[in-house]
Amino acid sequence: MSSTTKAPPSAEELVRRATELVPLLRKNATWTEENRRLHDETIEGLADAGLFRMRVPARYGGYESDTRTLHRVLTELGRGDGSVAWTASVWTIPGWMVGMFPDEVQDEVYSTPDVRVCGTLSPSAAATPADGGMVVSGRWSFISGALHSHWQEVIAMAPTPDGAGQWPVMALIPLSDLEIIDDWYTSGLQGSGSVTTVANDVFVPAARVVPLPAVLEGRTASVRNAETAMYRNPLLGVANASSAGTVIGLAKAAREVFLERMGERKITYTDYARQSDAAITHLRLAEATMKIDEAEFHADRITALTDAKGAAGAPWTLEERARTRADIGAICRLGKDAVDLLSLASGGSSIYSKVPMQRITRDMHAVNLHALMVPDTNFELYGRVLCGLEPNTAYI
């Protein structure tokens, strides 16, 4: 445990550091996509900027940054490379889940400087009670950042305490105890290295196993974290607040790329020698910009709610929980719409690999396919709650 009393960087300083990383991320973006993993320079840059410490408790030398600051940082990373922002955002969510475990488990995890924890919410494994803990077997796909992580948070089905049924539990396992299957060959977010991991009869001590329902409610098993604002929120509220930056960063990157190329382009087979002179360009650029602005409204609403509730230790209503799912759905839809408008206005030359627009478009489409971010699924859930019906999911 760190005994440092040094004040953490301000929000503005952390955002500035993230902004300064954008040229490095753009330089490495092609390598990252081709190699289907983050570049080592990128990992070092994120670490040197202190970004792996943003959601770490202060007693371990972390900054305990609020979600508004995290969102602003991730937006800057998204401007540089969507795969980097996505992976960084994923690390912050299982990283937050570490705070749900007993203090001795946190002591173990945070003994590694700039520790990175990957994970999933899919209960695609089984946990069998054993002396002193549980034995876990199963596999988990879409594990973003696994190739650069030290621990994985996993979900498995285990017997309930009364033995009458099954319920999902969350466990922490060192990556060294898991097998990695390199199956990440995809059309988008290629650099996130979201491979499959496998546990073959891995023993997990009891302290490193907690019930998932408690985590979904934000009920920590940590004594020291009980009054920490960062941990006084439900999981999905935290996850939604942590996911918007990638989407908005990608949309802003598309806008920047479009503006940079616009001055060099004509509109082929027309009399427009400059794309910027065409009314259709004005309309599409304005509409895309407004959609980005609208997405930022929803991001501001999620992060403001999450930070305010955490600071006050106030409970969330069911409608507030469902609304954050709807907010992240709206952000995804608006971000994708903005990128599609700009991409389709970028001409045939934009499909060349050297033009970032094609990668940004594919990354944005991939984000919109994530099960917890699909707009229609989230809108349907919000509508159910608004109609007075019970939610049809525990992930709320």
Question: The domain that contains 56 carries what CATH number?
Answer: 1.10.540.10
Q: Whole-angstrom Cα distance, residue 375 to residue 328?
A: 8
Tell whether 183 is covered by a domain: yes
83, 141: one domain: no
124, 175: one domain: yes
Tell whether 59 is covered by a domain: yes
pLDDT of residue 331: 98
The pair of structure tokens assigned to 392 is 């049809």
pLDDT of residue 2: 43
What CA dihedral angle connects 63, 66, 69 and 75, to 10 degrees? Answer: 110
Q: Are 345 and 284 in contact (CB under 8 A)?
A: yes
pLDDT of residue 6: 79
204, 316: one domain: no
Domain residues for the domain of 336 are 232-386
Tell whether 241 is covered by a domain: yes
Which ranges of 3-123 would DSSP assign to H, the alpha helix? 11-35, 40-48, 67-80, 82-98, 103-109
Tell whether 192 is covered by a domain: yes
Q: Are 55 and 64 in contact (CB under 8 A)?
A: yes
- The helix or strand, by DSSP H or E, that contains position 142, with its residue range, turns out to be strand 133-143
Tens-digit pLDDT string for the chain (396 aa) = 444 457 899 999 999 999 999 999 999 999 999 999 999 999 999 999 999 999 999 999 999 999 999 999 999 999 999 999 999 999 999 999 999 999 999 999 999 999 999 999 999 999 999 999 999 999 999 999 999 999 999 999 999 998 899 999 999 999 999 999 999 999 999 999 999 999 999 999 999 999 999 999 999 999 999 999 999 999 999 999 999 999 999 999 999 999 999 888 899 999 899 999 999 999 999 999 999 999 999 999 999 999 999 999 999 999 999 999 999 999 999 999 999 999 999 999 999 999 999 999 999 999 999 999 999 999 999 999 999 999 999 999
- CA 27 to chain CA mean position, Å: 22
Produce one character per residue of 126-158: b if its CB has 16 or more CB atoms within 10 Å, e if not. bbeeeeebbbbebbbebbbbbbbbebbbbbbbb
236, 360: one domain: yes
Structural domain total, the chain: 3
The pair of structure tokens assigned to 374 is 């699909």
Tell whether 61 is covered by a domain: yes
DSSP 124: -
pLDDT of residue 5: 56
Rounded CA Rg of the chain: 21
262, 379: one domain: yes
382, 239: one domain: yes
Which CATH number covers residue 178?
2.40.110.10
Q: Whole-angstrom Cα distance, residue 203 to residue 127?
A: 9
Q: What's the sign of the alpha-carbon dihedral 25, 26, 27, 32?
A: positive
- CA 383 to chain CA mean position, Å: 24
Tell whether 227 is covered by a domain: no
pLDDT of residue 264: 83
Which CATH number covers residue 333?
1.20.140.10
- The helix or strand, by DSSP H or E, that contains position 153, with its residue range, turns out to be strand 151-159
Cα–Cα–Cα angle for 43, 363, 27, nearest 5°?
45
Nearest to 25 by CA among 43, 9, 12: 43
Tell whether 372 is covered by a domain: yes
pLDDT of residue 163: 86
Tell whether 394 is covered by a domain: no
